[in-house]
Every structure is written in structure tokens, then in C-alpha cells.
């Protein structure tokens, strides 16, 4: 093992990297000094992606605080933090390896760290410390990480103490350089436009966006964020409608979002729309998806008012291979839309409902179909007709 070329060791270590099982890499740290040097970056680049355990995971906060600048350490001490467990040095410059940030996991780690090192159990005091540590850690990450490729912001109560700071992560020194290489962005918290505005001029190379929005928010900056990406491949948007009294607050978020999707017509490959309401949308917006020449996967889940749109000129999306459609039981079923998407390249179809017209359209237009999933039963003759055509 001592004579293995570095490239071979890197290949071995990279194949052992598993976000669900980080302990797979622990043994490689013990082989020799060379293996340790190769393994540490792989182990620490996904530190905040690992699911924290309740015993030892908090120690990575201790290690990160050892890498913090003295000004940050003094700031934390002045606000009652005990940093005796975090000496001002470490064997490696661990923050430089970080490439992924999961805010939920980071919050758990900070809370666990405070529970182990803090004697004051006052909730307000703990919450204030949690926020201060979050701020100083982000200063550290933005300044020292070479690049952050993935950010995940779940919808979870553990983020309450730090939510006010999340929209302003770009204010830290080094954020422009660090976030410029962001490739994956998952946000399931209901932010208003200020958050998307804050990253708009920095993050232009995102390839995967999966987000959750409120129907009453202005989507101007979100649409701009989608529009300016240089190579967006996957987009998933789930909409939450807000009810006040007996009225549902809603606006036309569909048209600006669809227009931004069309700006990605030469790159978008996977599109998932959940709980969209097309009530106030431009009537022709759905037809324009035919211009997305590389779109291979389309999922429409519990979207409403599709009957108000035009589909007459939609005659299949050229590269579409997988199409999923699910509707609420009492909602309109857009038979014409579904049929208009059928063509010879489709390999997989999943529908919450079907009609005989749809079955006949599948038989005629989808000769290369491999998988068909229907929530409603299909008689034997139809099955034979589909797969013998």
C-alpha cells in the first residue's frame, strides 16, 4: 500500500465516499500518512451532509472553531462561549474542503455542541448563542471554502434560530467567490424575494434547483434566478397556496416562471411542477414547452386550471421520455393535454387516471413504451393492445 500511486489511492477513497455511511472512510485514515492526506478532504467535504448522530457529530463544530480567525474566537468568548475544547490550531485546514451545506444538519450540530459545552439551559440564551455560532461559522466557510457546490435548506423547526441570517449569507467576505460554483440548490423554506435577490448576481451556474414557494409571493427574483443560469438541467417547484378566510390568495406566478424556464430551453432536462394554479396564467405558456428540445422528464402533480390553457399546437415534446401526471380527484382531468404529449420517444408514462381516448393515443403514438403505470384499472385487452402495438 505504501507504493500505491496517489491517483490510485484517490480512486479507492472516492469510491468509499458515502454520505449515508461516512464511517466507510475512517479505516483509510489509519493506513498511513499518505492515505490520511488523501482521505481527509473526501471525509470533510460533505461534513454537513452527513446525518448527525447524537454522540460525536458535534465535534466537527469544535474542529471548525479551531480553524476560525482569532477575531471570531474573541468575539465568541466575549459573548460567553467556552472555547477551551477548540484550541486555535488543527492538523488540516478543514473548512477549505467543505463543498456542501445542509442548514438543518448544521443547526443540529450547533445545538448539540451547545448542549455539550454550555451550562446555561435558558432557551433564549441558547438561541442567541446558536445564532452567533452560525454567523461566525459562515464567515469561516465563505472565506476559506474553495467552493460550495450544494446548498440544502429544509423546512424544519431546527432552523428557527438562524432563519433571519440565511438570506444574507452573501454579505460575508469571500461569498462571491465561494458561491460562484454552486451547482445544486434545494430550498424548502418559504423565503420572500430578498433571498433570491441576494444570490442573483453570484450563483449563475446552478444545474439543479428544487424549491418551495408561497403563491402570494412576488416571484420576480426567483424567475430571474432561473433565467440567468448558464446550464440549468433540473427544476422542481412546489407551490403552497395561502387561505385567508374563505379566499385563496394567489397571483400569476406561472407566467414569469414559465418564461424563465423557456430561457433554459437549450439545457433543461427535467421539470417537476407541483400544486401550480394556471388560473391567471397566459393561455399559451404550456404550448411553449415544445421549444425545450432536451426536456426528457416532465411531472405535473395536482396542478389546477389546466383547462384554461391552450394545447392545440402542442404535438409532443421532442426529447420527452418520461411523463407523470397526477390530479386531485375533484379537479378537471386534462385529457387533451396528456394526449398532446404522447409521441414515439416516450418510454415511461404514469397517470392517476385514464380514458379510452388516452389508451388509444398510447397505442397509436407510443410504440417504444416500456413502462406504463395507471392508478385506475385497465382491462386485459387494453394491456395486450398497448404492448403488442
The pTM score is 0.88
The span from the CA of 193 to the CA of 202, in Å, is 15
The answer, yes or no, to whether residue 123 has pLDDT greater than 80, is no
The domain containing residue 15 runs over which residues?
Answer: 1-43
Contacts of 161 (CB under 8 A, 6+ apart): 107, 127, 130, 131, 134
- What pLDDT does 155 receive? 81
* In a domain? residue 174: no
* In a domain? residue 333: no
Which position has the higher pLDDT, 194 or 70?
70
* In a domain? residue 12: yes
Average of per-residue pLDDT values in the chain: 84
The span from the CA of 272 to the CA of 210, in Å, is 9
Banded pLDDT at 121 (limits 50, 70, 90): low
- What pLDDT does 322 receive? 96
- Total structural domains in the chain? 1
* In a domain? residue 27: yes
* In a domain? residue 284: no
Banded pLDDT at 167 (limits 50, 70, 90): low
The burial of 235, by beta-carbon neighbours within 10 Å (0-12 exposed, 13-18 middle, 19 or more buried), is given as buried
Banded pLDDT at 378 (limits 50, 70, 90): low
* In a domain? residue 18: yes
Which position has the higher pLDDT, 198 or 331?
198
The span from the CA of 230 to the CA of 207, in Å, is 8
Banded pLDDT at 237 (limits 50, 70, 90): very high
The span from the CA of 56 to the CA of 77, in Å, is 23
- What pLDDT does 242 receive? 61
* In a domain? residue 10: yes
* In a domain? residue 180: no
Lowest mean pLDDT among 17-31, 82-96, 173-187: 17-31
The answer, yes or no, to whether residue 260 has pLDDT greater than 90, is yes
Amino acid at each position: 500500500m505504501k507504493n500505491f500511486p496517489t491517483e490510485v489511492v484517490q480512486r479507492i477513497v472516492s469510491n468509499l465516499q458515502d454520505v449515508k455511511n461516512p464511517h466507510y472512510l475512517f479505516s483509510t485514515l489509519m493506513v498511513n500518512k499518505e492515505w490520511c492526506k488523501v482521505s481527509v478532504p473526501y471525509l470533510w467535504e460533505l461534513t454537513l451532509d452527513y446525518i448527525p448522530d447524537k454522540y460525536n457529530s458535534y465535534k466537527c463544530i469544535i474542529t471548525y472553531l479551531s480553524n476560525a480567525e482569532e477575531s471570531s474566537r474573541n468575539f465568541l468568548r466575549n459573548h460567553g462561549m467556552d472555547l477551551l475544547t477548540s484550541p486555535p490550531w488543527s492538523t488540516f485546514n478543514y473548512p477549505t474542503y467543505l463543498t456542501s451545506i445542509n442548514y438543518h444538519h448544521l443547526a443540529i450540530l450547533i445545538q448539540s455542541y451547545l448542549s455539550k459545552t454550555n451550562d446555561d439551559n435558558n432557551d433564549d440564551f441558547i438561541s442567541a448563542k446558536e445564532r452567533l455560532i452560525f454567523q461566525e461559522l459562515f464567515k469561516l466557510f465563505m472565506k476559506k471554502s474553495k467552493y460550495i457546490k450544494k446548498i440544502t435548506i429544509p423546512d424544519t423547526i431546527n432552523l428557527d434560530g438562524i432563519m433571519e441570517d440565511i438570506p444574507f449569507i452573501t454579505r460575508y467576505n469571500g461569498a462571491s467567490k465561494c458561491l460562484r460554483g454552486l451547482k445544486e440548490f434545494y430550498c424548502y423554506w418559504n423565503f420572500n424575494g430578498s433571498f433570491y435577490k441576494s444570490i442573483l448576481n453570484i450563483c449563475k451556474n446552478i444545474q439543479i434547483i428544487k424549491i418551495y414557494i408561497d403563491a402570494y409571493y412576488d416571484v420576480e427574483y426567483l424567475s430571474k434566478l432561473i433565467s440567468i443560469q448558464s446550464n440549468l438541467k433540473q427544476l422542481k417547484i412546489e407551490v403552497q397556496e395561502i387561505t385567508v378566510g374563505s379566499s385563496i390568495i394567489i397571483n400569476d406566478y406561472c407566467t414569469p416562471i414559465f418564461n424563465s424556464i423557456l430561457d433554459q430551453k437549450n439545457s433543461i432536462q427535467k421539470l417537476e411542477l407541483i400544486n401550480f394554479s394556471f388560473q391567471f396564467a397566459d393561455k399559451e405558456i404550456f404550448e411553449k414547452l415544445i421549444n425545450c428540445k432536451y426536456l426528457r422528464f416532465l411531472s405535473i402533480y395536482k396542478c389546477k386550471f389546466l383547462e384554461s390553457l391552450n394545447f392545440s399546437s402542442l404535438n409532443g415534446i421532442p426529447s420527452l421520455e418520461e411523463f407523470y401526471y397526477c390530479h386531485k380527484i375533484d379537479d378537471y382531468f386534462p385529457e387533451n393535454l396528456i394526449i398532446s404529449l404522447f409521441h414515439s420517444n416516450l418510454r415511461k408514462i404514469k397517470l392517476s387516471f385514464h380514458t379510452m381516448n388516452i389508451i388509444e393515443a398510447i397505442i397509436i403514438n407510443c410504440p417504444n413504451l416500456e413502462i406504463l403505470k395507471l392508478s385506475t384499472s385497465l382491462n386485459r385487452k387494453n394491456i395486450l393492445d398497448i404492448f403488442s402495438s
